[in-house]
Amino acid sequence: MKKRILPIATLAIASIALAGCSNGSGNSNGGGSGEIDTLTIQAPYLSTSAPKADNAVETALEEEIGTKLDITWVPNASYDDKTNITLAGDNVPHVMVVQGKSPGFVKNAEAGAFWELTDYLADYPNLATTLPEVQEASSINGKVYGIFRARDTMRTSVMVRADWLKNVGLEMPKTTEDLFEVAKAFTEKDPDGNGKDDTYGLIIPSWPGAIGTNSPYDVIETWYGAGNRYTERDGEIIPNFDTDEWLDAVDFEKSLIDGGYVNPDFATFDSAKWNEPFLNGKGGIIIDVHSRAASLMNLLKDIEPDNWQNMVDFTGNLVGPDGEMHALPTTGYSGFITIPKAQVRTEEQLRQVLSILNEMNSPEAGKILNNGLEGETYTLDGDLAVAVDDAPEDLKNAVASLSQLGMNVTGFQGYLPKQATEVEQAAYDKRKEIEASDYEKAVVDPAAPYVSDTYVAKGAQIDLIVSDARLKYLAGQISKDDLTSEIARWHAEGGDAVIAELNELAAADK
């Protein structure tokens, strides 16, 4: 019997092998050293369905830049996996969106998967950035492997229930001390006037990221002057949790929690429901980003149609206990557009791809990428774009997805959106003002451009030691001595090597 099975098994294996091979052969485009007539791109989409090939918006873009595009859209949730699979396969596109300096990307880049663009970008007017510090931060040890996709550089915001503030007779907080007073009053002074003790101050959700991931804790620690993830002391880069300011900030957080001024389930509260306590009048303060204030306002429109205008107030960063503002900026970018070497083999081809990308970041193409087609997906009101609500779903998807290809390294290339109501427009203008003035006080992460090998291998793992210990200390599970010994454990399990490597890289860069 056994012998008879063998031929069948062989047949089966052979057929699998054949099926496997056929995947690799459909690759007629590009390759070699000829001119590129169709640019292949891989990009993520965040809408519910991928935009159709050759939709009107894409066609308009192709006409504008003078090159045909062939875009492979990949769902955002599985984008990182797909990126790795694509790079390991034969069908690598000319241009690929990469979403951040993940360990996988760093390893691929260091193995030579992508063109290094550091010395090329300056030759292209639309790609030569006006935000060199962001480009530096997006690099791997000073080597630029992609054209970064610019985002707001300052987003940190404190939003407060304005009606509650009025009821307890307080002003918008300007300092961390004010924040404590407001949170205390929101908990103890019955801000909703229902006679019951059913409110608290600050709403904090469980945070999926470790340290330095813009959690409310990280924000407060930066305000206290601990730095932004890393900080420079006496010429040395050290992690912010090695500073006294950091410990003071954590104690401040603990005093808020111990006083009962924070939701008690801060360790498990689902961050997807972050808005809810604010909207149903349980909690009154959120520390997050400006766009949340806008969406809170929008949500309250339905819940409180008569009073929503007076319910949300917001401000930017708060002044720390030393009397100075230490503002927490964003990284300023969200991934980058890379050019893998697999298809773009020669420097001429690289130049050609770069000049196409240069066209794509022109003011004309930028409007198509960011706003779509005038008259179909938006109309102009002065300099502001008013979205056409009843535009076909196809076109809306196309615009939302194509904006993923926007680089905006010389400033935003589209029209800014017009807000739905005057109140919201005023809030939007105020937000832009705060963003600009806060950015002047921004604390930059001195280690942002540097990628340490030990961090790539172990960073995510050891960072959890500190963020878990911080939360355990806040929850009262461990003492302050335990917290500092956990920080010592971070150092022992690889942190010291990370710091040494970062300082070495920084020294080599100067």
Partner 1 sequence: MINARAADQAGATEALVVPKKKRRRNAGGGHFNRFKWLYLLLLPGVLYFLTFRYGPMFGAVIAFKDYVPFLGIGGSPWVGFAHFTDFFASPDFLRLLANTLILAFLNLVIAFPLTIIIALLLNELRLSIVKRTVQTLIYIPHFLSWTVVASLTYLIFALDAGPLFHLINGILGTDINFLTDPDWFRAVIMLQTIWKGTGWGTIIFLAALASVDQEQYEAAIIDGAGRWSRVWHITLPSIMPTIVVMLILKMGDVLDTGFEQIFLMTNSLNRDTADVFDTFVYFLGITQGSYSYSTAVGLFKAVVGVVLIFGANWLSRRFNQTGIF
Which residues are near partner 1 by CB under 8 A?
4, 8-9, 12-13, 16, 81, 84-85, 87-88, 102-104, 107-108, 111-113, 206, 264-265, 267-268, 270, 457, 459-461, 464, 467-468, 471-472, 475, 477, 493
For residue 130, the 8-state DSSP code is S
For the CA atoms of 52, 77, 151, 178, the dihedral, rounded to the nearest 10 degrees, stands at 140
Q: Which is nearer to partner 1, 16 or 122 (CB)?
A: 16
Question: In this structure, is the dihedral angle defined by the CA atoms of residues 136, 141, 142 and 147, taken in order, positive or negative?
Answer: negative
Token pair recorded at residue 152: 């707001």
Residue 141: exposure state from Cβ atoms within 10 A (0-12, 13-18, ≥19) = middle
Token pair recorded at residue 96: 């690929």
Helix residue ranges per DSSP H, 125-229? 132-138, 162-168, 176-188, 216-223
The CB-of-164 to partner 1 minimum distance in angstroms stands at: 21
Q: Answer whether 376's CB lies under 8 Å from 85's CB.
A: no
Distance CA 489, CA 21 (A): 49
CA 188 from chain centre, in angstroms, equals 36
Distance CA 358, CA 382 (A): 27
Q: Which is nearer to partner 1, 100 or 375 (CB)?
A: 100
The CB-of-484 to partner 1 minimum distance in angstroms stands at: 18
Q: Which is nearer to partner 1, 345 or 441 (CB)?
A: 345
Residue 264 has a CB neighbour count (10 Å cut-off) of 11
Which residues on adjacent β-strands are paired with residue 288? 157
Q: Which is nearer to partner 1, 8 or 383 (CB)?
A: 8
Q: Which is nearer to partner 1, 77 or 507 (CB)?
A: 77
Half-sphere exposure of 479 (CA within 13 A, CB side): 1
The CB-of-268 to partner 1 minimum distance in angstroms stands at: 5
Token pair recorded at residue 313: 């107030």
The CB-of-24 to partner 1 minimum distance in angstroms stands at: 12
The CB-of-51 to partner 1 minimum distance in angstroms stands at: 27
Half-sphere exposure of 483 (CA within 13 A, CB side): 21
Distance CA 501, CA 447 (A): 10
Q: Which is nearer to partner 1, 78 or 194 (CB)?
A: 78
Distance CA 155, CA 291 (A): 8
- Between the CA of residue 390 and those of 298, 376, 378, 482, what are the distances in Å? 19, 9, 10, 58
Q: Answer whether 319's CB lies under 8 Å from 6's CB.
A: no
The CB-of-50 to partner 1 minimum distance in angstroms stands at: 23
The CB-of-81 to partner 1 minimum distance in angstroms stands at: 8
216-223 vs 244-258: helix axis angle to the nearest 10?
130
Q: Which is nearer to partner 1, 50 or 267 (CB)?
A: 267
The CB-of-267 to partner 1 minimum distance in angstroms stands at: 5
Q: Which is nearer to partner 1, 301 or 472 (CB)?
A: 472
Q: Which is nearer to partner 1, 270 or 496 (CB)?
A: 270
Residue 168: exposure state from Cβ atoms within 10 A (0-12, 13-18, ≥19) = middle
Residue identified by tokens 């945070």 is 207
The CB-of-463 to partner 1 minimum distance in angstroms stands at: 10
Q: Which is nearer to partner 1, 416 or 475 (CB)?
A: 475
Q: Which is nearer to partner 1, 43 or 87 (CB)?
A: 87
Distance CA 325, CA 438 (A): 8
Q: Which is nearer to partner 1, 200 or 415 (CB)?
A: 200
CA 329 from chain centre, in angstroms, equals 11
The CB-of-100 to partner 1 minimum distance in angstroms stands at: 11
What is the DSSP track for 408-432?
Answer: -BTB--SPEEPPSSHHHHHHHHHHH
Q: Could you tell me which residues come within 8 angstroms of residue 89 by beta carbon, excluding any fewer than 6 positions away?
A: 23, 24
Distance CA 284, CA 258 (A): 17
The CB-of-223 to partner 1 minimum distance in angstroms stands at: 22
The CB-of-222 to partner 1 minimum distance in angstroms stands at: 20
The CB-of-493 to partner 1 minimum distance in angstroms stands at: 7
Q: Which is nearer to partner 1, 303 or 460 (CB)?
A: 460
